[in-house]
Amino acid sequence: MLSYEQARNKVVEQVGRRKGPRATAVVSVWDALGLVLAQEVQTDREYPPFDRSTRDGYAVHSKEAAPAAQLKCVGEIKAGDTVREALAAGTCLQIMTGAAVAAGADAVVMIEHTSREGDLVRFERAAQPGQNIVPRGSEALAAQTILTPGMRLGYAELALAAQVGAVHLQCAQRPRVGILSTGDEVVLIDETPGEFQIRNSNSVSLAAQVRIAGGEPVVLGNAADRIEDLGEKIKRGLKEDTLVLSGGVSMGKYDLVESVLKAMGTEFLFDAVAIRPGKPAVFGMCQGKPVFGLPGNPVSTMVTFELFVAPAIDLLSGAQARALPLVEARLAEALKEKPGLAHFLPAHVGWGGGVPEVKALRWQGSGDIAALSRANCFLVVPADREKIEIGESVSVLLRKDAV
Ligand code: AMP
Ligand code: MG
């Protein structure tokens, strides 16, 4: 059985192979958060465009601003002021953060390190050449490429585009992700379930996870545990860029997803992974489309989505697959799990006086959505560990929407 890293690599390899033109659209910088860029963006001029003061203080010739020296202040420069005149010898100029440093001045002394009487400014310490000035062009040159195709647009990237006036951006369209739940017991979320039925919560969590991953969810409803219904709905789902199913992949008599996919010509890359929850997860290529069969227990569905579907959505968007958001933390309470499978336990990570500290939460197993709603991460127990002692270092898979 594959480890989760091996299984994830299979997804990345397989989906990464599918090259070819991707649909793009021009999107306003206001609406492009989370999209993947499909063009280069270049600077329109140097950045900063002038020698910029990073402090409120005095622009000086550094040699003249020696301890106890006094210089005459001959004017002021506000942010946005046009600055044409050079700084005359023996003088200084009051200057504000963000203002252009006058030619000749090679340092800005913070106002806190000066005292002033009338026009005379006294300096408390030696000024170093270049201090508190960001030189023109030091952040970027003119016509320099600052954003490239495949980059995901977060708030910093959007600000960078806005800074250079790139207000419309050619972006990859979000990949459309079909979401199909299965199970005779599953009813719509706005229906009242019968005594032995359950609402379709997986479609809701999957749609949210697809959005967070950068995809466009296409919710296709629920298929009964019958070959014909499954076949029809899977066929519909294959119209999308990728299809994610929940339920019907375990060993039960009515777990038909794998056999229906097989009959439709699916080539499976894995049909089990050494993890708990989520062991029965399957992944294959069906009629040219990546298809995921995730186990139906809600927490299993959530974990296996993060491990296997999220990187596929990255690749289908024209980006690289992002690494799993794993960090190291100190275990706050000893743990014991059955070895053989890697465990992903709902857990809470916090700041434990200098180091991240993590504690597994009490839960009733992979159907326990309530436990996960109190968690901000999954504590990863490696397959070869049975006991982990308090204070040991463990890996933690962050819940991207909860930290
Ligand atoms: P399965 O993977 O089909 O064997 O289902 C495992 C468990 O997950 C069962 O208890 C199902 O009732 C539950 N389950 C399956 N599909 C859903 C769904 N769409 N929403 C919530 N729970 C589900
Ligand atoms: Mg089922």
pLDDT digits (tens, 9 = 90+) for 152-170: 999 999 999 999 999 999 9
pLDDT of residue 334: 97
Superfamily holding 326-398: MoeA, C-terminal, domain IV (2.40.340.10)
Report how far ligand 1's centroid is from the alpha carbon of 325 (Å).
26
Stretch 64-80: mean pLDDT: 97
Q: Give span(s): CATH 3.90.105.10, the chain.
A: 24-47+140-172
Burial 118-139 (b: 16+ CB within 10 A, else e): eeebebeeebeeebbbbebbeb
pLDDT digits (tens, 9 = 90+) for 220-263: 999 999 999 999 999 999 999 999 999 999 999 999 999 999 99
* Atom 10 in ligand 1: residue holding the nearest Cα: 297
pTM: 0.94
**What does the CA dihedral 191, 237, 313, 161 come to, rounded to 10 degrees?**
-90
Does the CB atom of residue 198 touch ligand 1 within 6 A?
yes
Residue limits of CATH 2.170.190.11 in the chain: 52-134
C-alpha angle with apex 103: 101 to 105, nearest 5 degrees?
65
Q: What pLDDT is recorded for position 256?
A: 97
Q: What is the pLDDT of residue 22?
A: 81
- 291 membership: H or E segment, kind and range: strand 289-294
Ligand 1 centroid from CA 338, angstroms = 24
Instruction: State which ligand 1 atom lies nearest to the alpha carbon of 295.
Output: 2
Ligand 1 site-directed mutation target among 184, 186, 191, most atoms within 8 Å of CB: 186
Which CATH superfamily does the domain covering 24-47+140-172 fall into? Answer: Molybdopterin biosynthesis moea protein, domain 2 (3.90.105.10)
Question: Which CATH code, of 2.50.20.10, 3.30.2010.10, 2.60.15.10, 2.170.190.11, is assigned to 52-134?
Answer: 2.170.190.11
DSSP one-letter code for 62 = G
- 344 CA from centroid of ligand 1 (Å): 18
Summarised one tens digit per residue, pLDDT across range 270-292 is: 999 999 999 999 999 999 999 99
What pLDDT does residue 19 have? 72
Q: What angle do CA 301, 272, 4 make, to 5 degrees?
A: 75
CATH T-level fold of 4-22+173-316:
Molybdenum Cofactor Biosythetic Enzyme; Chain A (3.40.980)
Residue whose CA is closest, atom 16 of ligand 1? Answer: 296
The one-letter code for the residue type at 85 is E
76 - beta bridge partners?
A: 94
pLDDT at 18: 81
Question: Relative to the CA of 252, which ligand 1 atom is closest?
Answer: 4
Ligand 1 mutation target, pool 202, 225, 369, most atoms within 8 A of CB: 202
Cis peptide leading into 382, omega within 30 of 0?
A: no
Q: How far is the CA of 186 from the centre of ligand 1 (A)?
A: 8
Question: Across residues 15-31, what is the average pLDDT?
Answer: 90
* pLDDT bracket for residue 57 (50, 70, 90): very high
